[in-house]
Amino acid sequence: MQNVSTYVPTPGSAASTVFAVSADEADVFVEKFRSIHYARFIRAEGARVRIQIAVGEKVESCKVSPARLGIAPEIDGNRVSFLLPERTRHLLVRVNQLEDLIILADPPETVKPKLGGTNVVDIMTFGVDNTGNTVETDKIQQAIDSVIASPDKDTLYFPRGCYRTGTLRINGSMKIYLEEGALIKGSLGFDDYPVFERYRKRKFLLVYDTDGFELSGRGVIDGEGAALNDKYQTDESKLIDLFETINCRNVVIRDVILRNSSNWACLLSNTEDAVVDNVKVLNVPHHLWMDAFDVSCCKRISYENCFAYSHDDCWAIMTLNRYRRLERAETSNITVRNCTGWTPCSGTRIGWNSKDRIDGILFENVDFVFAELQHIAIHRLKGGALYGTIVFNNCGFERCSESSRFLLCAGPDHEPGESVDVEELRFIDCSIDGPAQDRAVVRGGADYGVKEVVFDNVLAGGKAVTSVSDLSDMGFDFVNVSGVSVASKIGGIG
């Protein structure tokens, strides 16, 4: 294939009047979505692609994140150009004082069901309106139930078009595929999202008590969260999670865009063995509670190659135990790898309102390109529960000077100045671009405390951290911490 292939625009999308983007001279549609602009295309494996951006004014400044990539844009009048590194999928570009531009470079789609295949059901055979003018909840739910009940069908295929619906519930093994140009869009009527008494919450797309579910494709799911929240203001009983799995196993979520949720966008609860790959969450700032990726009471969850642009936390890792009919459970073996996050809240929030142990948390090659409150928040677990290991390996933390703090230890529900009990907190091969506005206090509890904090080959403000004194200069304090160790390939051990 050629180096670059372009997507058809999402139905009803508005073209940006601020940015024009091309990739290897192929024009890429730039969608204006609330206060951001994003360009998405397919890049051939291994291809190095030149990105060109044009704006309607002279370019005075241009910054490309993740900064660790070292991309130095070439500026010529009202144009910017640079090479997209080979394996990079997500960039955030800031030109002058304009709104953010997001570049999303997808790999080729390798696994795609064939419309007309013996195991595939076309949603259009159920007589749905794919213009978005009719709320088609009943027909779409009928199609879902039909595939689950079928002995020889396992995939429900949504071709290009706009499908307007309220709550959809999945209670059996199946696959949903959204073709490029397919948009599942939330109803604007609150009554179309009834409370599901079995699990007490309002959902847009709910998968429950299921072993084997897949949501994939290059389409979009839009919860109409901004419109719904404008309508119902601060009534928390009317918040609607965009997508949730409850009491599930063997889940795959791949390639889709989840956007504009009323509440949390992608929540996994009491779920085991799930992969979330190449998923983008676009929760452009509008109201609180718009987390991107949340996981609670889960085991063996992997987030790979994901992008979060979210008004609330990018990744929240918890043990809420919010469903009383299910046994209490810990959260363990959660991996976030090759991902990028932007938020005016927390890059990751661990342990909010949580009741049970959290262990085996790994962030690897993750770039937190902006986190206004703090890059990392760790909450005290209720009932004396302990954290195991929390590791940040080869991660980048940007725009720290614009953050209130780099790291916060807090009470279960955001109470400031509290302590946490952790076996090990480790930073390996990480880059922190400078001190934040307030000091980062790693505060252990009086009885157990924090057993070990490790900084191994960490750069802070562009300099190697070689001693605890360097950490103090960077705004770190340690209280009730049994051991703080610093190792550097440049400066030895401190």
Q: What pLDDT digit, counting tens, does each position of 438-455 carry?
A: 999 999 998 899 999 999
Overall average pLDDT of the 180-194 stretch: 96
Overall average pLDDT of the 278-305 stretch: 93
Q: Are 348 and 378 in contact (CB under 8 A)?
A: no
Q: Which H or E element spans position 138?
A: helix 137-149
347-394 pLDDT, tens digit per residue, is: 999 999 998 999 999 999 999 999 999 999 999 999 889 999 999 999
Nearest to 359 by CA among 421, 433, 269, 268: 421
Distance of CA 65 to the CA centre of its chain: 16
How far is the C-alpha of 286 from the C-alpha of 310, rounded, in Å? 10
φ and ψ at 386, to 5 degrees? -115, 150
How far is the C-alpha of 478 from the C-alpha of 494, rounded, in Å? 15
pTM (2 d.p.): 0.96
71-110 pLDDT, tens digit per residue, is: 999 999 999 999 999 889 999 999 999 999 999 999 999 8
Distance of CA 282 to the CA centre of its chain: 8
φ and ψ at 247, to 5 degrees? 55, 55
**Adjacent-strand bridge partners of 204:** none
Conformational region of residue 327, where left means phi above 0, alpha means psi within -120 to 50, and beta covers everything else = beta
Is the pLDDT score of 161 beyond 90? yes
pLDDT, residue 234, reads: 61
Overall average pLDDT of the 135-149 stretch: 98
Band (pLDDT 50/70/90 cuts) for residue 457 is very high
Strand 431-432 relative to strand 396-397, pairing: parallel
Band (pLDDT 50/70/90 cuts) for residue 490 is low
pLDDT, residue 225, reads: 93
Band (pLDDT 50/70/90 cuts) for residue 1 is low
